[in-house]
Structure 1
Amino acid sequence: MNTTFVHEGIEFDLTLIYADTTGVEWNWTGEQINGVPLMAQKEAPPGCDTPWKFTDLYWELGPLIAISSRPTVAQYRAAVDPDYAATVAAGYVEARIAAAVAPGLAVGHLPPSPLGQTGFRRFIRSLQKGGA
């Protein structure tokens, strides 16, 4: 059975879920009428479970936007770091990243705190009085 449908020169993969312009998600029922696929709401409220012909759905609530499934954790890790297992085995952790990126930074490089280690309420009172 063919799992693609061409409408107005656009090829639609019927194995995907599609969202209409109102955000409702639709999937193919696996049925066709005169070569036109029937689409049903993914989570239809009571009374709204009648399938629509793809062409009617496209014209009434389109365009339809394909929704891809979310990547798995393994796919995400492979995209970020193709050799994730070796990276973990080598002990590559955030502390080592920070040491490699900014080894010379220390507390002294920051400007002094306006709180002066005296507390937030005292700082606010000093603003209300117009100075320290």
Structure 2
Amino acid sequence: MTTYLHDGIVFDLTRSFVDVLGVEWEWRGERNEAGEPLLVSPGLPESPVPLPDVYRDHGPLIPISPRPSAAQYRAAVDVNYAATVAAGYVESPAEFAARITPAAATAPALTAHHLSPSPMEQTGFRGFLNTIKGARRG
């Protein structure tokens, strides 16, 4: 039997679970005297814990979906992957690199009008200082 009913929840023991902290738990076919499945964390394989204790102490157990196969990845990206390869629409690594590398852009040359004016050339405070200096002369 690969299912276990606990607290109204049916656990499929063929799948791995993750607790709320992200620790993975899996069943390796062992049960305790009460018939409870013993779960182990891959980090502590020598310390099996009954599923009800893991559920109580580590929060709800979330089943981990099986990893997709390479064929499933190809089907998700290109449903007609075999037809695409047969038609010759496959790039070499060099062709791919040439397609995604942006063209080199030259930096614009800066001229004097790109630069902000020097504070010494401004007429505000500098002009005020010049008026004071001129007033002292006289």
TM-score class normalised by the smaller sequence:
0.5 to 0.7
Inter-partner Cα distance in structure 2 for 1:21 and 1:3: 23
* Partner SS, residue 49 of structure 1: strand
Q: Deviations over 1:7-62 (max 9, x none)?
A: 22221111111111121111113111222100011122xxx832111001001102
User: Normalising to structure 2: TM-score of the pair?
Assistant: 0.61
Matched with 1:39 is: 39
Pairwise mapping of residues 96-111 of structure 1 onto structure 2 (< 5 A)?
Answer: none
* Partner SS, residue 46 of structure 2: coil
1:130 matches 2:116: yes
1:6 matches 2:9: no
Question: Which protein has the larger Cα radius of gyration, Structure 1 or Structure 2?
Answer: 2
1:15 matches 2:14: yes
1:118 matches 2:115: no
Inter-partner Cα distance in structure 2 for 1:50 and 1:21: 19
* Partner SS, residue 25 of structure 2: strand
% identical equivalent positions: 49
Matched with 1:63 is: 60
Q: Deviations over 1:76-104 (max 9, x none)?
A: 1123333210122224469xxxxxxxxxx
Inter-partner Cα distance in structure 2 for 1:17 and 1:51: 14
What count of residue pairs does the alignment treat as equivalent?
Answer: 102
Alpha-carbon RMSD across the aligned residues, in angstroms, is: 2.9
Inter-partner Cα distance in structure 2 for 1:9 and 1:58: 12
Inter-partner Cα distance in structure 2 for 1:7 and 1:87: 49
Question: Which runs of no fewer than 5 residues in structure 1 stay unpaired?
Answer: 95-114
Name the CA shift for 1:80/1:116 in 2 (closer, same or farther; >3 Å): closer
Inter-partner Cα distance in structure 2 for 1:89 and 1:36: 53
